[in-house]
């Protein structure tokens, strides 16, 4: 149901993540307003936004307090920058609030405008850090296949999805090695237990470090639950064991919390839910409930201290963006964090999680679903042609995309992911009744597509 807004001329838009040829003559789906967990298109058709937009609109679409926080800051001081030791009250308060909820030891905040910029800034900090420590060779990154860390030149290199690299000449080979995706259902050997699978991935990490040299590897970057790669939940013990090897080899751990952060997994940050302690976190999206662009890097004291000292030697920590710490964005993010605290967002997600997981478990019985997985309020169904062998339909058949398109016919927006899965990541304010409606629509869409295969 894509709508055509005849009064708007959309030929001047370069659409991101779009087959520009296939969609050249078709109007995009145009959304014009939102209310709670619902969005409405330009024909006033209502949809449950089952992806919270792009895994981000945690508080839904009509949180007046965020609009008011923006309006008040626009009136007081619509812009000021952070360069050369300037700041604004909301930027300072936001940094303190973020440090206050971050895991112990992560106390230093650098604000940017997006998730990709947060990852890029983290990469630069890691390089600067190793230069500060006089380890000029220790510069490479370890990431995972199917990881999503953004699209800018450096962050895009860390992303482990072919479609982000295809056609773009990203300098990935020189700066990153991608490890095996920690997704037991798809990548375990036949009969391999979760624990044995974890041990194999940890052995791969060890072998990679031995092969490339610990003195060349600066950091490991990981999403706690891999989001855009298909909502992939790590096997038992994975992060704990990986972290032990990283520490032995003096390799920093970056937790990319751009999707996981701020309650999504039922903890404030995914690293806490999965039991590891990063040296750096990258955040964006739910940091402002996506009402305004903002991202942040949260660094541990020991990382920051090296940056501070080295900036003295060089004369500057020479990086920053015009809009980093933008006062209006900071005010909106600060208000978002206040709302999370007042409403106990983590408790809300934990309270909703059993109902969410029960619906997923129910869908696991569907003939088209090989695995239904979830944690907190993020999940996915992975589609298969054969539930026993786990064989999938040919990629070209785009079955997950067909299911997502069928969802739209049932008033639901979801997202197909690589690996023929359909992701579910609703606003965190969703109610049990709205979850019932969401999963009812997804079940109906699965039935529709199954009937055509």
Ligand X SMILES: Cc1ncc(COP(=O)(O)O)c(C=O)c1O
**In this complex, which beta carbon is closest to ligand X, that of residue 29 or of residue 54?**
54
Residue 220: beta bridge partners? 142, 253
The whole-angstrom separation of Cα 87 and Cα 74 is 16
Query: How many angstroms from the chain centroid is the CA of residue 96?
Result: 23
* Residue closest to ligand X, measured at CB: 115
**In this complex, which beta carbon is closest to ligand X, that of residue 227 or of residue 324?**
227
**In this complex, which beta carbon is closest to ligand X, that of residue 256 or of residue 382?**
256
Backbone angles phi, psi at 144, to 5 degrees: -125, 150
Q: Nearest approach, Cβ of 141 to ligand X (angstroms)?
A: 14
Residue 412: beta bridge partners? 48
The tokens of 91 are what? 């930027």
**In this complex, which beta carbon is closest to ligand X, that of residue 306 or of residue 404?**
404
Answer whether 58's CB lies under 8 Å from 263's CB. Answer: yes
Answer whether 255's CB lies under 8 Å from 225's CB. Answer: no
Q: Nearest approach, Cβ of 114 to ligand X (angstroms)?
A: 4
**In this complex, which beta carbon is closest to ligand X, that of residue 148 or of residue 291?**
148
Residues in the chain: 453
Q: Nearest approach, Cβ of 221 to ligand X (angstroms)?
A: 9
The tokens of 60 are what? 């839904």
DSSP H helical ranges for 102-233: 115-132, 153-158, 162-165, 172-175, 184-187, 194-212
Query: How many angstroms from the chain centroid is the CA of residue 421?
Result: 16
- Angle at which helix 345-363 crosses helix 327-343, to 10 degrees, equals 80
**In this complex, which beta carbon is closest to ligand X, that of residue 108 or of residue 149?**
149
The whole-angstrom separation of Cα 261 and Cα 334 is 15
**In this complex, which beta carbon is closest to ligand X, that of residue 115 or of residue 419?**
115
The tokens of 203 are what? 């052995």
Q: Nearest approach, Cβ of 118 to ligand X (angstroms)?
A: 7
Q: Nearest approach, Cβ of 427 to ligand X (angstroms)?
A: 16
**In this complex, which beta carbon is closest to ligand X, that of residue 130 or of residue 260?**
260
Residues that bind ligand X (CB under 6 A): 54, 114-116, 119, 148-150, 223, 227-228, 256, 258-259, 284
The whole-angstrom separation of Cα 293 and Cα 113 is 5
Q: Nearest approach, Cβ of 284 to ligand X (angstroms)?
A: 5
Q: Nearest approach, Cβ of 222 to ligand X (angstroms)?
A: 9
**In this complex, which beta carbon is closest to ligand X, that of residue 202 or of residue 258?**
258
Q: Nearest approach, Cβ of 133 to ligand X (angstroms)?
A: 26
Among 114, 116, 100, which Cα is nearest to 340's? 100
Q: Nearest approach, Cβ of 148 to ligand X (angstroms)?
A: 5
Residue 39: beta bridge partners? 34, 47
Angle subtended at Cα 227 by Cα 286 and Cα 241, rounded to the nearest 5 degrees: 105
């Amino acid at each position: 149901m894509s709508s055509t807004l005849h009064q708007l001329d959309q030929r001047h838009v370069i659409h991101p993540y779009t087959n520009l040829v296939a969609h050249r003559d078709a109007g995009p789906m145009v959304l014009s307003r939102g209310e709670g967990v619902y969005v409405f298109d330009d024909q006033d058709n209502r949809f449950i936004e089952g992806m919270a937009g792009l895994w981000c609109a945690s508080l839904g679409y009509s949180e007046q307090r965020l609009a008011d926080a923006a309006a008040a800051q626009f009136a007081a001081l619509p812009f000021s920058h952070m360069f050369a030791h300037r700041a604004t009250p909301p930027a300072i308060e936001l940094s303190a609030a973020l440090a206050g909820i971050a895991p112990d030891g992560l106390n230093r905040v650098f604000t940017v405008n997006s998730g990709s910029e947060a990852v890029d800034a983290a990469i630069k900090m890691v390089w600067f850090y190793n230069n500060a420590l006089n380890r000029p060779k220790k510069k490479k990154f370890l990431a995972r296949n199917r990881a999503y860390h953004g699209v800018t030149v450096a962050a895009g290199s860390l992303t482990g999805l072919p479609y982000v690299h295809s056609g773009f000449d990203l300098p990935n080979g020189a700066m990153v090695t991608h490890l095996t995706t920690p997704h037991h259902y798809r990548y375990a050997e036949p009969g391999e237990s979760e624990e044995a699978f974890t041990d194999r991935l940890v052995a791969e990490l060890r072998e990679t470090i031995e092969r490339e040299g610990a003195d060349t590897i600066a950091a490991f970057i990981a999403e706690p639950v891999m989001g855009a790669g298909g909502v992939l939940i790590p096997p038992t013990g994975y992060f704990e064991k990986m972290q032990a090897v990283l520490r032995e080899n003096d390799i920093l751990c970056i937790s990319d919390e751009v999707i996981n952060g701020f309650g999504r997994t039922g903890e404030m940050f995914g690293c806490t839910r999965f039991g590891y302690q990063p040296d750096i976190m990258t955040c964006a999206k739910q940091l402002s409930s996506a009402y305004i662009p903002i991202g942040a890097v949260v660094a541990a004291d020991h990382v920051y201290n090296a940056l501070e000292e080295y900036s003295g030697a060089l004369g500057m920590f020479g990086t920053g963006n015009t809009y980093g710490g933008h006062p209006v964005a900071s005010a909106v993010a600060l208000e978002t964090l206040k709302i999370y605290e007042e409403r106990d967002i983590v408790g809300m997600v934990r309270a909703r999680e059993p109902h969410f997981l029960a619906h997923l478990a129910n869908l696991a019985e569907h003939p088209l679903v090989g695995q239904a997985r979830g944690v907190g309020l993020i999940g996915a169904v992975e589609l298969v042609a054969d539930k026993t062998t786990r064989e999938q339909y040919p990629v070209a058949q785009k079955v997950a995309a067909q299911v997502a398109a069928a969802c739209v016919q049932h008033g639901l927006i979801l997202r197909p992911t690589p690996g023929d899965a359909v992701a579910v990541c609703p606003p965190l304010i969703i109610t049990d009744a709205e979850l019932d409606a969401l999963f009812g629509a997804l079940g109906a869409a699965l039935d529709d597509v199954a009937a055509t295969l």
